[in-house]
Amino acid sequence: MQSRLIKTDGLNQQVLEAGEGPLVLLIHGFPELGISWRAQVQALSRAGYHVAAPDMRGYGGTDKPQGVEAYSILNLVGDMVDLVRALGAETCVVVGHDWGAPVAWHCALLRPDVFRAVAGLSVPFQPRRIKGPPTAAMAAISKRAGLGDLYIVRFQAADAHLALEVDPAMTLRKLFYAYDGATPADRRSTGFMPEGVDLLDAIDAAATLPPWMNAAHFAEYVQAFAQGGFEAPLNWYRALDRNWALTAFLQNQRITPPALFVVGEDDPVRHYAGGHEAGLKDWVPNLTRSVVVPGAGHWIQQERSETVNALLIEFLADQAIGARSRR
C-alpha cells in the first residue's frame, strides 16, 4: 500500500492505494479516514484489483473547502468521478461505508456509466422524500416518539463541531465505542439524546477503544482530526437539506447497477436508517444480496474485515469483474 496526493478537478485528494487491475473505490464515513479500509485495500489488491481509498472532502489529507455549500452530494459524487479519471480508469466499482454509503449509492444513481457496480455498508439507500427537506422531518418524528434529539439534527447547529474539538481523542474514543458491536448493548448509542444532554455526555465516560482499534491506528485518527477539526465533516450533515433541494431531478429514480448491501446485526444506525432496509430492492432492483452480519456493529469493515473482504471479492467475481478485465 502507498499513500499519495492526487490533484483532481479543483481538489487535492489524499489516497491510500495498492494493486493493479479493475478499479475499486472505497469511500469512508464519519468520523473516519481512508485508513479505515486498510484490510480491504490489502485483500482486494491481492485478489487482482487496483484499490483506492481516499480521505474524502473535508477529511484528513484531502482539501477542506469552506462553507456548507461545498459539501453537497453533487460535490461528493463529482470528487469520485474526478478521482476515477485521475487514476487512469474509465469505470470502477464503488464501495461506501456510513456516510460513504450514500455517496456510493448516488455515484451509481447519477453515473451508472462510470460506476458499474456498487456496495453499501451499514447505510441502505434512502430515496428522496417527496414531502420536504429531511432534517425537519427527523426532528418531528423523534419528538413525537419521545426519543429526544437525533444527533443529525443537533449537528445542524453552526457551532456543533466546537464541542467535538475540545478533546479530539475523547471524542473519537467515545464515538467508536458507542457504535461498536463489542460494546454492551445497554452502552451502545441509539443516536438519540435527551433534551439538554450533549452527544458526548450521553456516551459512557469509561469508553474504551474497540477490540479492533490498536493505539497506533487510533493515534492516526487523533492526529488527523486534531489538525483538520470537525467542522468540515459536520458540513456533510449540514448539507442534507441542500441535497434535497438539489436532487429534485432524481425523484423516483432507481439505482440500476448490480449492488450489494451489508450491515451489522447490532449496528446502532439501524435505529434510524434500518427502516429502509426492507424496501431496498424496490429502489435497487439489481440488488444481488443483502447481508446481516451477526454480532457486528457499525464499523463493519474493521470489526469483521475478513467477512467483508470475502463478500466484496465474491460480489466482484459474480459481476465478472476480475483481474483480466481492465475496464
pLDDT of residue 326: 37
Query: Is 201 labeled as catalytic in the residue annotation?
Result: no
Mark whether 318 is an active-site residue.
no
Cis omega (within 30 of 0) for bond into 31: yes
In a domain, 245, yes or no: no
- The cell numbers describing 255, all together, are 439505482
pLDDT of residue 325 exceeding 70: no
Any residues with CB less than 8 A from the CB of 317 and at least 6 apart, and which?
none
| Residue 326 is assigned to a structural domain of this protein | no
Judge if 80 and 22 occupy the same domain: yes
Nearest residue to 134 via CA among 160, 152, 157 = 152
Residue 271, in any domain of the structure: yes
Q: Are both 8 and 107 inside the same structural domain?
A: yes
Across residues 118-127, what is the average pLDDT? 98
**91-102 burial string, b = 16+ CB within 10 Å, else e?**
bbbbbbbbbbbb
Q: Which of 98, 149, 266, 267 is catalytic?
A: 98
Q: Pick from 237, 264, 280: which residue ends a domain?
A: 237
Contact present, 300 and 95 (Cβ < 8 Å): no
Quick: pLDDT tens for 15-39: 999 999 999 999 999 999 999 999 9
Q: CA-to-CA distance for 2 and 25, rounded, in angstroms?
A: 15
According to DSSP, residue 68 is labeled G
Residue 176 domain-assigned (yes or no): yes
Q: Which domain holds residue 76?
A: 2-129+250-318
Mean pLDDT, rounded, of the chain:
95
Count of domains in the chain? 2
Question: In Å, what is the CA distance from 229 to each residue of 6, 70, 271?
Answer: 22, 16, 27
Asked whether residue 124 is assigned to any structural domain, the reply reads yes
Higher pLDDT, 196 or 304: 304
CA-CA distances (angstroms) from residue 228 to 154, 170, 197? 21, 16, 26
Strand partners for 95 = 26, 119
Extended strands (E) in the chain: 2-8, 11-18, 23-27, 50-54, 92-97, 115-121, 149-150, 192-193, 259-264, 287-293
Q: What is the torsion angle, in degrees rounded to the nearest 10, for the CA atoms of residue 81, residue 83, residue 84 and residue 88?
A: 140
Helix axes 305-318, 38-46, angle to 10 degrees: 40
Which candidate in 28, 106, 161, 298 is catalytic? 298
3-state secondary structure of 60: coil
Q: Could you tell me if 88 and 182 lie in one domain?
A: no
Specify the pLDDT at position 323: 52
CB 86 within 8 A of CB 8: yes
Q: Are strands 92-97 and 23-27 parallel, antiparallel or unpaired?
A: parallel
| Domain final position from 237, 263, 290 | 237
Q: Give the H/E segment covering residue 104.
A: helix 100-110
Give the rounded percent of residues in the chain with a pLDDT score beyond 70.
97
Q: Is residue 142 part of a domain?
A: yes
Summarised one tens digit per residue, pLDDT across range 7-16 is 998 899 999 9
User: Does 125 share its domain with 139?
Assistant: no
Are 34 and 107 part of one and the same domain? Answer: yes
Report the distance separating Cα 230 and Cα 155, nearest Å.
11
**135-184: per-residue pLDDT in tens?**
998 888 877 767 889 999 999 999 999 999 999 999 999 999 999 999 99
d(CA 232, CA 71): 8
Same structural domain for residues 153 and 231? yes
Question: Helix axis angle, 73-86 relative to 100-110, nearest 10°?
Answer: 70
- Entry pTM: 0.96
Of residues 272 and 112, the one with the higher pLDDT is 112
d(C-alpha 120, C-alpha 39), whole Å: 17
